[in-house]
Structure 1
């Protein structure tokens, strides 16, 4: 009887989990294994044959590929700026639309609507604004700061890309923080107000600790999105000027599909994957201890 019940449980579990597990193996495990294998070869992505070269691709990544190191520096700067602004502005917007404003529903829609757009579409839209609209407005109304080459200056291009990314992604961060705010029991807020606690103390002592799950979600989402940034840069600058806005993902793409060096490209992708895994694991370890 126990065997029959156990077999039934395993069959039901396999029926629901089996298709998902099969798709996971086909589209994640097998490609990942293939990437690891090709990273130790000189395969160009075109020929049927390749040669085993060991760790030569990994050695080249760190010793001889200056563009990859520059891409790491750019991606790190972009990730830090993007992370800070998205979470800070997202929290402020969540606090705003959580009030009793009559227009709060409209504001939630307005703030979140850019998030439903493709980053490629967003990139081309803002490229048109930067290169044509802002320039013409500045020229017509004698506003020199609008005629500045936002995407053509190597020193300032990162801030333009961060601004576009924040505009597109801040709505999702706002929504997650808003869910965290609305999940705080009103009884706790009323009890603190009865005790004479002001708004700032309530926010620091009650709101922030109970919003740690929302912070964890936003930290993971914004970190991984920032590190894997590709499409918005492709649409805005294509990595220019002079590779000053080339991200790690774009460097890997060019190595594999432009230079036809799949072995080196997959080695970079493995290194990149390990970097993201280490960063997100560290974030989870730090934030998980603070969760209430």
Structure 2
């Protein structure tokens, strides 16, 4: 490895399995000291235990790296504050926050209960906001004290948040909210040396194993396009000094493919300079739609 993150202190949430585990190991391989956060819960957020986080720490230490486990609930203010404190108290600071923790409660909208909505919003959206809020407060204080850091935030959205996904109204809404949160963080925190970006990864994890079960290594190359380790190199680069100047962007990452997502941009427009009638507004809307690019299909509709 190149030591791209040598000396940096990195926090990864949901790092006991899947993408988070791959990210934590990849950062450690590049010289970072890693705080491995994980509650050890099931796919639906139930249960819990320290085993997954501890196992990742042991793997990092066995490979010659430095890591510490954190078992706090980052969707609570106390847990998020203790996460930042774990980095500062153990390693003397915090340079990179990777928000990755999450689980699923998939239902069609007519069957989606309020508890399932709240649980997914809590772990994904609130679980991004609270660690970011406490890390941002730390970085602002450091900057005001003349100890500014080249801080990095990498948030985890999803194609479901960019395009929508049938049966995942709660998850898609939360992941779309993460994109908005990332853009605001990039705009507000840049003055303190913080860069914030988001990824929309596609990989085989507990959350996606049914969708990608048949997508295995290509027989001729041995390359497993859906392995979570394929996403981590981009995350490590975004979390390093090498990404200087890159902020407020969203990237799709899958296999060997990286795509810069361009988001909402103004398309065809028409301005009469006066109030319209409903009929004229509809006629104009149809005209503009005919001139515009059609939307990409929602996941699960094709």
What TM-score does the superposition give when structure 1 sets the normalisation length? Answer: 0.27
Greater helix content: 1
Greater strand content: 2
The structure, 1 or 2, with the larger RCO (C-alpha pairs under 8 Å, 6+ apart) is 1
What TM-score does the superposition give when structure 2 sets the normalisation length? Answer: 0.26
